[in-house]
Amino acid sequence: MKQEFDAESLKNLVVDFHDFPHTGVIFRDISPLLSEPGAFIAAAQAMASSFHQSSISKVAGIESRGFLFGPSIADILGVGFCPIRKAGKLPGNTISETYGLEYGSDTLEIQAGAITGGDRILLVDDVLATGGTLTAATRLVRTAGAVVAGVAVLIELDFLGGRGHLGALDIAAVIHY
């Protein structure tokens, strides 16, 4: 018999690792969710559910765990997928966006032409924490001439306030901490 998964049962599959990767951090490990038959597709369907009527034209998944969910969500919504990668990982001409981190900076890139004016993009990542990466991805999509129509994440760490940095974007999170 196939198991049904709701947000609470998906949350129960996430394992906490305290003090990883640094002291004071609780790492939310989704590996058990990925290994449970039916849980992954249930999570992808839950992440996509708010956007069936949003006229999404493409899903853009942020490296690396946005790559896990993004293609499945794109398939569920019947649209294409575009990877957003760290600098130097994509061939050909790219569009880039550099953003600040706690200790330095990082750069996200998309291939030139992968997202174009008129596209309505659903950004996908595994976790919304402080909002830094998703804010940079939003700027990147807008630089390419497209509109960010929404954000879908598996987990939102509400106490870090990342949602507040993303303005009026439509944000869907399945699991909240």
Residues that are catalytic: 65, 102
- Cβ neighbour number for residue 63 with a 10 Å cutoff: 18
d(CA 32, CA 61): 21
The bridge status of strand 26-29 relative to strand 15-18 is: antiparallel
Q: Where are the beta strands (DSSP E) in 8-141?
A: 15-18, 26-29, 58-62, 80-86, 94-101, 104-111, 120-128
Q: Bridge-partner residues for 28, per DSSP?
A: 16
Q: Is the peptide bond before 21 cis (omega within 30 degrees of 0)?
A: yes
